[in-house]
Structure 1
């Protein structure tokens, strides 16, 4: 194990560049999946005839597929029907689709957890269904959704490493290049990669716990 050479300025800069792309991919996928998942989860909670059943079926299919398969499908299969994406957009789209399905279920469950009497009281006061949902139900549900949502976002950050299979130049891909130069770099580089993931994910976990404490 050659820690000194493995942690040269050039190698660390190269790894940090890969990690920066990892964070950007995760952030974009988090924002998009929360928007899409929120929309789908709310529609499912509203139990709109036919539409809710179709969305439920799509969500269940996606949730029960491996993310790796979705990445492969996005990058390799879609070009067969004329839809082609470069590596990074393909990875972001795959992550967004997969995580949106997970988030939609969290949001639907969060909305369902609110006592039905809240909706009935809001409706009796003259609010429409969607006004009651937006002003009364959703604010309460969001506080309950914080821990599982943050946990899902932590999983998303870790899942970005799967993008290495389509040669996205993120942290894991750059790590492979660095330790491929010399076998003695393997352990030091993997330890550095593990540290990068741990720091960000642990920070998110601490933030989630503090938000949960404030909520209670």
Structure 2
């Protein structure tokens, strides 16, 4: 093991550049998948004829597919139908598709946990269904969903490493490049990579606990 050589300024800078790409992909994917997941979850909760059924089929299909397959599809299959995407956008699209399905189930479960009597009371007071959902039901449900949602965000951040299969220049890709230069770098580099992932994910878990404590 060569810790000194592995942790040279050039290598550390190279890893940091990859980590920034990882964080960029994760952040964009989290924002988009969270927004889409809420919309899908609400529409399924509302049980709109046909729409809810179609969404249910789509969500269950995506949830039962490996994320790696979706990444391959967005990068290698879409160009066959005229939709060629850059590696960055292909990875983001795959993550958004997969995570939106996962988050929509969390949202739907959270909405189902709210007592139905609150909807009836709100409607009786003159609020429309959308007003009831936006001002009363959804805020309560979101507070209850904080732990599973943050847990899903953590999974999303870790899942960005799968984009290494399409050579996205993220953290794992850069780690493999460095390891390819010298076999003695493998353990030091992977220890540092593990620490970088752990730092961000543990920070997210602490934020989740703090939000949960405030709710209680």
TM over 0.5: yes
Q: Return the alpha-carbon distance in structure 2 between the equivalents of residues 35 and 214 of structure 1.
A: 23
Find the residue that maps to 2:199 and give its secondary structure. Answer: helix
> Does 1:102 find its partner at 2:112?
no
Match of 2:187 in 1: 187
Q: Return the alpha-carbon distance in structure 1 between the equivalents of residues 86 and 182 of structure 2.
A: 30
Find the residue that maps to 1:173 and give its secondary structure. Answer: helix
Match of 1:58 in 2: 58
Match of 1:178 in 2: 178
Give 1:17 deviation, angstroms. Answer: 0.4
Large movers: runs of 4+ above 3 Å? none
- Structure 2 unaligned regions, length at least 5: none
Q: Return the alpha-carbon distance in structure 2 between the equivalents of residues 40 and 142 of structure 1.
A: 14
**1:80-136 deviation digits (Å, cap 9, x = unpaired):** 111110111000000000000011011011011000000000000001111111111
> Does 1:169 find its partner at 2:173?
no
- TM-score norm. by structure 2 comes to 0.99
Q: Return the alpha-carbon distance in structure 2 between the equivalents of residues 83 and 173 of structure 1.
A: 24
Give 1:165 deviation, angstroms. Answer: 0.1
Match of 2:145 in 1: 145
Find the residue that maps to 1:48 and give its secondary structure. Answer: coil
Aligned length: 216
Q: Return the alpha-carbon distance in structure 2 between the equivalents of residues 136 and 197 of structure 1.
A: 36
Mapping of residues 5-154 of structure 1, within 5 Å: 5-154=5-154
- TM-score norm. by structure 1 comes to 0.99
